[in-house]
Structure formats: structure tokens, C-alpha cells
Amino acid sequence: MLRPLKHTAKQTGIDPGSALNTLTNRIGWVLAAAFAAVLLLTPLIALFGGVFIEGGAAWQFITETLLADYSKNTMILIVGVGGLALLLGGSLAVLVSLYDFPGVRWLRPSLLLSLAIPSYIAAYAFVGMFEYSGPMHQLFLAFGMQGVHTNIMHLPGLIIVLALVLYPYVYATARVALESRYNSYIESAKSLGMSNMRTLRKIILPLLQPALAGGVFLVMMEVLNDYGAMKYFGIPTFTTGIFKAWFSMGDLVSAVRLAFLLFIIVILLSAGEGFYHRKHKVSESNRSSLPRRTKLKGVKAALATTYAVGIFTISFAAPVSYLLWLFSYANRSRAAEEWFSLASNSMISGLSGTLLVLFFVLLTQFVRQLVRNKMTFIISRSISVGYTIPGAIIAIGMLIIASLVSDIWTGVLISGTLPLLAFAYAVRFAGVAYQPLNAESEKRSGRLFEAAQSLGKNTSTLLRRIFIPLTAKGTVMAASLVLIDILKELPLTLILRPFNFDTLATKAFEYADDELLAQAALPALSVILVGTIPVLLLHRSMKST
Amino acid sequence: MSFLSVENVVHQYGSNQVLHGCSFAIEKGESLALLGESGSGKTTLLRLIAGFERPASGSISLNNRILADDKTFVIPEKRDVGLVFQDYALFPHLSVRDNIAIALNGRSKQSPEDWLRNVGLAGFEKRKPYELSGGQQQRVAIVRALASHPQLLLLDEPFSNIDESLKFTFRYELQKLLQRTGLTSIFVTHDTKDALAVADRIVVLKDGEVRQFATPEDVYLRPADRYVAGLLAPFNTVRNNGEYIDIIRAEHCTITEPEGARVQGVARSTMFQGGHYLANLEVDDAHWVVRSATSIERGVRCGIGYDEQHILTVKNR
């Protein structure tokens, strides 16, 4: 969930009369798009249905002994990580956007980098660093600090680790807001004679609230999507509960019910975010220019640099260096040999998922341009629903579908097959492709479509000559973002992958979970390296705003 | 020393020099227009006076206090200079009342309500800025700037978001407000009518250079050069003497019978201007624009008359 999911403004301005007319002509296309949209919603529909399935051998045990912990820990994690990420991301954004101090130029992009580290990798890297044999403990010993307790495998430790890799969501949304919109407000405050502190307190922070809330919302959604870090830290939550019910207890019905409860949390959170945004809707000045940064001097400058460099070091430089150091202890010939098979598995599942995503999103976007009415708007939007839903929930929905299929057609097993995994990826990540493709086709092809239609061009000509060429750039962008997200994905892959099918992500997690830290280093570093690509793209897009 | 003086101000963005040594000065209570096309540097000049940009060289002083020169630079919040932004920049999260209260900051005995009543916005206190019309927002923005008790009020394109039909009233209102408060003000505009109507003095800027600094009457009746003359109203070149040219305004020309006229031309087009017509005539290989009471048919040959006393001699640049 890298790109902030900003709900784009109303795009439903249509003329109902002419829309009806074109609708009857192009009914086939609309039906195909509607079918595609419904298909992508099937895991959720299945989940709703699954709640009413009788049985669930372990359910009583789960409700009596585990559910309270799941709820408590999940809530503490959401609030704790959200709060800490808000503090880190918000303070860093204000610091680098409004102030000038040594190193600020390279710190601005660098502070985004920890976003490239998936939480399950961060978890084991941090635990490893603070272990008895790890570098931090060695450092403490070197300074003569014997017996310093450095166990971080507890709830507060997990909160800190997750906040360190997730704070860039808040940092990025706050920075975009600060740098694109607030300059005239800041100047206005200054021309009214307001001091810097007063401007910050009275103007900047209140105005920044919606952006900060948006960032925190993304952080919380990522916390709900996490499985690997929680499992590694041994903290029982809804996600780890779903895995336990399915893998350890073999109880799909209980897993479905837990997934449903998690889904309700997601819905509540989204609703809360939506409500907040409506309440804090402000019409903003549309002038945009970079704020003139105040130059910090002396102690203040030193403190600012130390703080920002410190966060960068702890959140990114240290874990990555540690993984590199670990890799030097790995059996390198075995690691290299294995790497090729892991990477090719990652690419096979990744590319098939990406192709499916492109098919679904391009189809619905094309129909949206072809027939501009409320229905096609809803169809094209609904594609991105899966992006807000944790992978574990989608995976459980897919398992229900798979078991239904084998109930209806005896002997047909789709569970644990590559097509099912690819389809689940499409459900989860279609929203990633929706953003760039929708932006591009709304921006560029809308008017041209109308022009071509008025010249009497038929539908296939529209598709071939206008839609595909105009969205080509967006398609490439969307495809690479989707592919990268799939390569990093863990919980969904763990549940739905074919037997003995290991990807870079699953193997990095499994080795770490089995305490084979050195072996985990290479796949983990590969995933981080791939993950830096969208971070760099994010940085570029932030610069251009 | 004048109340506000800008001396030899040079400004550059990177290597791009946008102001080349601008100088002018105004007295307390005067209203100055910075007139120029987009890219002339007028907004930059305004931002330099407000303190949002720092001049590369030159000096700016207000009420015997240096705001910026080689050694000194007073930050915007300490300048006592109010600025009304082109997009008003009302704080969107604050009510109309709080927008003004934040500027008052307990400095004045007057309440925000008093200020709003002054501009006919009583009863709007609780509204958010986006609930106001453009004109109302602008009034709030002006009042907010006034509430911080500035010595100098700057207005960035105050007329640009006003409907053409309301401009007349607005010019009048603004002039009245400025006169009533006795405040010294500078406003930026690209519309000559605004500058001529409201300002006591005008600075005409072209490519970062002051082409003329004078009263509205002087700028119109005695333009310094060809550019200034053309910015204000259409004119025709009577004689070209190289460094200087003699010009005559369209409104000082009359259409006569072709016989015996000193200039003869063929009508190419006429444009109705409301009270009169502007006729475009082809004279030899040039075009003349002449004010006419009636429409002239295309292709008609006619004479152009004018009085020598209306001829202006301006620099040819």
C-alpha cells in the first residue's frame, strides 16, 4: 500500500440522455466489465456467505481463550503504531519541508526509504540486531555495559519496529501537503506579523490534520495487513489467529469467522477515515510553490540533523547493513543457487498476477471511457476495493471459493494452484493499477474519445487507436507497481501458494522464522531492493507536485 | 526621505535576473499601482517589499527604517507590511471571525465584529471562507490585512478575480476604503484602467525595468516611451526620428474626406467599442487606428485629421 489512496474528486459528470443511448449500443462491453468487477468481489462475497457456515471445531476454544487477546493486541498495535508513526512522520515532514539544515537535501528522499523494507523483514532484522550474538549487544558489551537487557520481542518492541518502517506514509502525505499547498497560508501568516511558532501552532498543524490523518490511516491498514512481523514476535492478533486456525487447527470455518471480524475492523477504520475527511473538508488555495525554508543555525541545526539522520539510520541504514553483514555468514553458493529458483517463482506468480490485473483494470477503464455513466463509474471504482483489504482476508475468501468448487464439481481441486494465487493477487492489487491508469485515461482520453466517437469511429478502433496508445505509459507504470507489490506480498502468498512453491518473500520469512537468519538475508535483501523502486518513483512524483 | 523608497533594487531567480535596478518612492497616504504585463516583474517587486524575497542589491526602506539592503534584512513578520494575496489565502480551517482575530492578536480595541461591520459583512462571522462568494472573501482578506495595523498595504492583483460588471463598483469601493483609512498602499495590476482609476501614482514595469514612474495623468498624457504609450491606449506613428518618434492617439484622430487630408487610408475593419468605433485603416504600408463616431465600410477611402498640439514625442523603445 504504497501510494496514498486519495479518493479522486467527483468524476461522474455525465449527461444521462446520451449515456442511455450509447449504453444500449455498447451493452456487451458494459456487461463484460460488470462481470469482471463482480468476479473481483467474489472472495468478499464468499467471506460474507462463509460466516453462516455451521461447524467450526475450534471456534469455541478460540472465543473462550484467544479472541480477547486477538482483539486487545490488534487494537494496541493499530493505535500504538499509528501514534508513533504520526509523531515520527509528522515531525520529520515539518522539519524537512519548513527548515533548512545540514543534510536536508539528501535526507528528504532518504527518509522515505524504510518503506521499502517489508514489516516481516524489519521484524527479524531488528530482533537479530538486538540479540545476544547480534551487533547491538556486542556494542553494549564493548562499552562495558554487561547484562543490558536487549530483548525487543514484546508488544512495545513490535510497535516500535512497525512504526519505523511505516512512518514514511505519514511523512510522505504530510510533505506533499506542506509543499504543494501551504505556502500562501504561511506567507499570509507572516505578513500578518505571526511568529514561526504561532504559525506552526495556529495554521500549519491544524491545516495539516487531514493529511496526517490520511497517512495514519494508511499505516493502520498496513498494520492490519501484517502477518509476518506479528508471527515472528509471537504476538497473537487476528491475522496470526487466521493462520493458526487454518494451518494448525485445520479449521476453515473459524478462520473465516476471524477474517470476518478483521474485515469489520477494516470497514470501521475506513468509515472513520471517510467521516473524518468529510468533517475536516477545507477548500484550499490552489497556488503551489515550495515554501521558503527557514535556515536553522547552531545547536538547532545540529539537533535537527541528528534527529533526522538518527531516524534514517535506525529505520533503514542499520537493518540493511545488518542484513548485508548477515549475508557474509551465509552459505553463498547454496544461497545463490536457491536464489534463482526463488526469483523465478516470484516472477512467475508476479507476472501472472500482473497480467490479470492489467486485463481487469484496462477492461473496466476502457468501458468507463466508452460509456460515461454512473454504472461504469461504480464498476471502474469497485475494482480497487480489494486494495484496502488485508491479504489474509482475501486468501480465506479464496479458500471458501475453492472448497465450494470442489464441492460442486467433485475432483476439481483449484486450491493451491497458481491460477488461484494469481487471481487472488488481482483481487488484492487491482487498486494499485487503478490509480495511475485512471488518472491517465481520465486526463487524456476522455475528450479524445468523444471526438473520435463524433467522427463515427467504431469501438474496436477506439480501443486500438486511442485507448491503448494513450494509456501505454500508465500501463507500464501500473504493471511495474503491481509486480513489485506482489513480489513483497507475504500473507496471501503463504496461504494460497502451491505446495512447495517458494518465493523470495515466503522463503525470507520461513528462514527467519526457523532462526536461519543468515540464509534469510539474500531473499530479504532482494525484496528490499525491489521495494526501493516504487519508493524512488514516489520521491519523483513528490518532487513534481 | 520618502515614506517608502525603493532604490536600485535588483533581483534574480538563480541566474535569471528579473529586476534590473528598480527605483521609486511614495509619500504617506499615497496609493501606487505597479502596472505591467505578466512576467514584467511586478509581483516579484511586491514580494520584495513584503519580505518574501531578498533583493540581490539595492535597498528598500519604510518610514525611515531600512527593510532590506546589503547588510539588513527584516523578516516579513517584522515589517508592518500587510499583503492581500491574489487568491486571498484565507485560512480555510478558521471562521471569518477567527481569520480576523488571528491578525488582531489582541492588539486593537476593535473586535473582529467591528471590522466586519465596516465592510458590510456583519453576520458572516461564523462562516468558513469557502462559504463566501469571491467578492466577500476578498473583503475579508483586505480587512484581515488591515486588522494587523500595517504601515503599508500591498494588494496582489486585487481586480483579477472580480467580474467585469462589478469592477467599476469595486474600484470605487477600494479607493474609498484606502482614502478613509489614510493607508499607504501598493497594488499590482495588469489592467491599465484599474491603475488609472485608483492609483495616485503608477510604476510601469517592462521586463524588470521601470519604464515610467508618474501620476496617472502624466503616464497617459505624457508617456515616456513607445511601450508605455501603447500599453495605455492605441496610437499611430506620425513621424519616426530614430531615437524619438512622434505619435498621435487614436482618439485624437478624426475621419475626414480624403481630399486635402494630410493622411489618407483605406478602411480595412471597424470594431464597435460601445460609445464609438475604432477603425483600422491601411495607410501606405502601415496601419492606423482611428476613433470614429460611425462605422466605416470596408474598402472606403478616407482621410485622417488630427491637431498638431496632440502629437506626443516619445522615446522609440
pLDDT over threshold 50, residue A10: no
Residue B297 C-alpha cell reads as: 465600410
Task: Please check whether residue A206 touches B, CB under 8 A.
Answer: yes
A497 vs A415: CA distance, rounded Å? 9
Q: Which of A262, A72, A248 is nearest to A155 (CA)?
A: A72
Strand B31-35 relative to strand B253-256, pairing: unpaired
Burial environment of residue A186 by CB neighbours within 10 A (0 to 12, 13 to 18, 19 or more): buried
* Cβ pair A187:B91 closer than 8 A: no
With beta carbons under 8 A apart, name residues in chain A contacting B154.
Answer: 191
With beta carbons under 8 A apart, name residues in chain A contacting B106.
Answer: none
Q: Write the secondary structure of A395-422 as one string of H (helix), E (strand) and C (coil).
A: HHHHHHHHHHHHHHCCCCCCCCCHHHHH
Q: Which pLDDT value is given to residue A282?
A: 56
Asked if B188 and B249 sit in the same domain, the reply is no
pLDDT over threshold 60, residue A22: no
* Cβ pair B50:A202 closer than 8 A: no
Q: Shortest CB distance from A185 goes to which of B89, B128, B145?
A: B89
B311 vs B245: CA distance, rounded Å? 10
- Is residue B22 one of the residues assigned to a domain? yes
Asked if B266 and B201 sit in the same domain, the reply is no
- Is residue B28 one of the residues assigned to a domain? yes
Cell 506626443 sits on residue: B312
H runs (alpha helix) in A26-66: 27-50, 59-61
B46 vs B66: CA distance, rounded Å? 16
Q: Which amino acid is at B225?
A: D
Distance from CA of A513 to the nearest CA of B (A): 49
Residue A537 C-alpha cell reads as: 518513483
Distance from CA of A284 to the nearest CA of B (A): 6
Domain boundaries, chain A: 15-50+335-502
Strand B253-256 relative to strand B244-249, pairing: unpaired
Instruction: With cut-offs at 50, 70 and 90, classify the pLDDT of residue A284.
Output: low
Distance from CA of A282 to the nearest CA of B (A): 6
* Cβ pair A188:B89 closer than 8 A: yes
Cell 518465493 sits on residue: A503
pLDDT over threshold 50, residue A1: no
Q: For A377, what's the count of Cα atoms within 13 Å in the CB-facing half-sphere?
A: 12
Q: Which pLDDT value is given to residue A147?
A: 65
Q: Which A residues 292-331 touch B at CB under 8 Å?
A: 292
Q: Shortest CB distance from B85 goes to which of A188, A193, A202?
A: A188
- Is residue B228 one of the residues assigned to a domain? no
pLDDT over threshold 90, residue A180: no
Structural domain span for residue B243: 234-315
Q: Which pLDDT value is given to residue B252?
A: 93
With beta carbons under 8 A apart, name residues in chain A contacting B89.
Answer: 184-185, 187-188, 285, 287
Spacing of C-alpha A378 from chain mean position: 22
- Is residue B277 one of the residues assigned to a domain? yes
User: Structurally, how many domains does chain B consist of?
Assistant: 2
A293 to chain B: closest CA residue: B52
- Is residue B227 one of the residues assigned to a domain? no
Task: Please check whether residue B103 touches A, CB under 8 A.
Answer: yes
A508 vs A224: CA distance, rounded Å? 20
Query: With contact defined as beta carbons under 8 Å apart, do A159 and A77 qualify?
Result: yes
With beta carbons under 8 A apart, name residues in chain B contacting A280.
Answer: 93
Chain segment B223-265, per-residue pLDDT in tens: 999 999 999 999 999 988 889 999 999 999 999 998 888 889 9
**Best to test chain B binding among A186, A191, A278 (most B CBs inside 10 Å):** A191
Q: Which pLDDT value is given to residue A5?
A: 38
A136 vs A154: CA distance, rounded Å? 17
Task: Please check whether residue B283 touches A, CB under 8 A.
Answer: no
Chain segment B48-66, per-residue pLDDT in tens: 999 988 999 999 999 999 9
Q: Shortest CB distance from A285 goes to which of B75, B89, B103?
A: B89
With beta carbons under 8 A apart, name residues in chain A contacting B52.
Answer: 187, 190, 292
Confidence (pTM): 0.80
With beta carbons under 8 A apart, name residues in chain B contacting A284.
Answer: 92
With beta carbons under 8 A apart, name residues in chain A contacting B102.
Answer: 189, 192, 194, 202
* Domain end among B221, B249, B274: B221
pLDDT over threshold 50, residue A317: yes
Taken as a whole, chain A contains a residue count of: 545
Task: Please check whether residue A283 touches B, CB under 8 A.
Answer: yes
Q: For B272, what's the count of Cα atoms within 13 Å in the CB-facing half-sphere?
A: 2
Considering only A27-41, A140-154, B284-298, which range has the smallest mean pLDDT?
Answer: A140-154
Asked if B53 and B138 sit in the same domain, the reply is yes
Q: Shortest CB distance from A286 goes to which of B51, B87, B128?
A: B87
Q: Which of A433, A450, A389 is nearest to A19 (CA)?
A: A450
* Cβ pair B128:A185 closer than 8 A: no
Q: Which H or E run includes B171?
A: helix B164-181
Backbone phi and psi for residue B268, each to the nearest 5 degrees, phi listed first: -110, -40
Q: Which pLDDT value is given to residue A44?
A: 92
Q: Which of B96, B56, B90, B74 is nearest to B152 (CA)?
A: B74
pLDDT over threshold 60, residue A4: no
* Domain end among B221, B246, B274: B221
Report helix, strand or coil for B189. Answer: strand
* Cβ pair B83:A207 closer than 8 A: no
Chain segment B114-149, per-residue pLDDT in tens: 888 888 888 999 998 888 988 889 889 999 998 888
* Cβ pair B89:A187 closer than 8 A: yes
Task: Please check whether residue B13 touches A, CB under 8 A.
Answer: no
Q: Which pLDDT value is given to residue A544?
A: 59
Taken as a whole, chain B contains a residue count of: 317
What is residue A54's DSSP assignment? -
Q: Which pLDDT value is given to residue A79?
A: 97
B117 vs B97: CA distance, rounded Å? 11
* Domain end among B162, B196, B221: B221
Q: What is the CATH number of the domain that holds B81?
A: 3.40.50.300
B274 vs B207: CA distance, rounded Å? 33
pLDDT over threshold 80, residue A324: yes
Distance from CA of B215 to the nearest CA of A (A): 28
A487 vs A353: CA distance, rounded Å? 10
Chain segment A207-226, per-residue pLDDT in tens: 888 889 999 999 999 999 99
Q: Which pLDDT value is given to residue B269?
A: 92
Q: Which pLDDT value is given to residue A250?
A: 85
Considering only A184-188, B82-86, B216-220, which range has the smallest mean pLDDT?
Answer: A184-188
Residue A216 C-alpha cell reads as: 495514519
Q: Which pLDDT value is given to residue A444?
A: 67
Q: Which pLDDT value is given to residue A60?
A: 87
Residue B304 C-alpha cell reads as: 485622417
* Alpha-carbon separation of residue A198 from A53, A195, B260 (angstroms): 59, 5, 75
Distance from CA of B129 to the nearest CA of A (A): 8
Cell 477503464 sits on residue: A365
Strand segments, DSSP code E, in A6-161 are 99-100
- Is residue B287 one of the residues assigned to a domain? yes
With beta carbons under 8 A apart, name residues in chain B contacting A290.
Answer: none
Instruction: Provide the total of helices (H) and of strands (E) in chain B, helices listed first.
Output: 8, 18
**Residues A473-487, mean pLDDT to the nearest whole number:** 89
Asked if B147 and B281 sit in the same domain, the reply is no
Q: Which pLDDT value is given to residue A93?
A: 94
* Cβ pair B77:A287 closer than 8 A: no
Asked if B116 and B255 sit in the same domain, the reply is no
Q: Which pLDDT value is given to residue A472?
A: 85
Q: Shortest CB distance from A192 goes to which of B88, B130, B144?
A: B144
Considering only A221-235, A393-407, A458-472, B143-157, which range has the smallest mean pLDDT?
Answer: A458-472
pLDDT over threshold 90, residue A32: yes
Instruction: With cut-offs at 50, 70 and 90, classify the pLDDT of residue A13.
Output: very low
With beta carbons under 8 A apart, name residues in chain A contacting B80.
Answer: 193
ipTM over 0.90: no
Chain segment B30-46, per-residue pLDDT in tens: 999 999 999 899 999 99
Task: Please check whether residue B129 touches A, CB under 8 A.
Answer: yes
Domain at A15-50+335-502, CATH homologous superfamily: MetI-like (1.10.3720.10)
Most confident by average pLDDT, A241-250, A286-295, A454-463: A241-250
A97 vs A292: CA distance, rounded Å? 9
Q: At what angle do helices A155-181 and A119-130 cross, to 10 degrees?
A: 130
Report helix, strand or coil for A19. Answer: helix
pLDDT over threshold 90, residue A164: yes
Measured at the CA of A263, the angle between CA A258 and CA A266, to 5 degrees, comes to 135
Instruction: With cut-offs at 50, 70 and 90, classify the pLDDT of residue B28.
Output: very high
Q: What percent of chain A has pLDDT over 70?
A: 91
Backbone phi and psi for residue B40, each to the nearest 5 degrees, phi listed first: -80, -15
A182 to chain B: closest CA residue: B89
Q: Which B residues 48-87 touch A at CB under 8 Å?
A: 50-52, 75-83, 85-87
* Cβ pair A191:B130 closer than 8 A: no
What is residue A345's DSSP assignment? H
A286 to chain B: closest CA residue: B87
A80 vs A63: CA distance, rounded Å? 24
Q: What is the CATH number of the domain that holds B291?
A: 2.40.50.140
Q: Which H or E run includes A290?
A: none
Query: Please, what is the average pLDDT of chain A?
Result: 86
Chain segment A50-59, per-residue pLDDT in tens: 888 888 788 8
Query: With contact defined as beta carbons under 8 Å apart, do B61 and B53 qualify?
Result: no
Distance from CA of B150 to the nearest CA of A (A): 8
Distance from CA of B29 to the nearest CA of A (A): 20
Query: Please, what is the average pLDDT of chain B?
Result: 91
With beta carbons under 8 A apart, name residues in chain A contacting B92.
Answer: 207, 282-285
* Cβ pair A194:B105 closer than 8 A: yes
Q: How many residue contacts between A and B have a Cβ separation below 8 Å?
A: 77
Residue B147 C-alpha cell reads as: 486588522
Chain segment A101-120, per-residue pLDDT in tens: 999 999 999 999 999 999 99
Q: Which of A122, A223, A115 is nearest to A171 (CA)?
A: A115
Distance from CA of B108 to the nearest CA of A (A): 14
Query: With contact defined as beta carbons under 8 Å apart, do B246 and B293 qualify?
Result: no
Query: With contact defined as beta carbons under 8 Å apart, do A44 and A387 qualify?
Result: no
- Is residue B76 one of the residues assigned to a domain? yes
Task: Please check whether residue A286 touches B, CB under 8 A.
Answer: yes
* Cβ pair B82:A191 closer than 8 A: yes
Q: Which of A471, A501, A357, A332 is nearest to A422 (CA)?
A: A357
**Best to test chain A binding among B81, B93, B153, B155 (most A CBs inside 10 Å):** B93
With beta carbons under 8 A apart, name residues in chain B contacting A287.
Answer: 85-87, 89
Asked if B10 and B157 sit in the same domain, the reply is yes
A338 vs A335: CA distance, rounded Å? 5
Measured on CA atoms in the order B279, B282, B287, B290, is the torsion positive or negative? negative
A284 to chain B: closest CA residue: B92
Asked if B148 and B250 sit in the same domain, the reply is no
Instruction: With cut-offs at 50, 70 and 90, classify the pLDDT of residue A259.
Output: very high
Task: Please check whether residue B158 touches A, CB under 8 A.
Answer: no
- Is residue B173 one of the residues assigned to a domain? yes
* Cβ pair B50:A184 closer than 8 A: no
Q: Which pLDDT value is given to residue A289?
A: 55
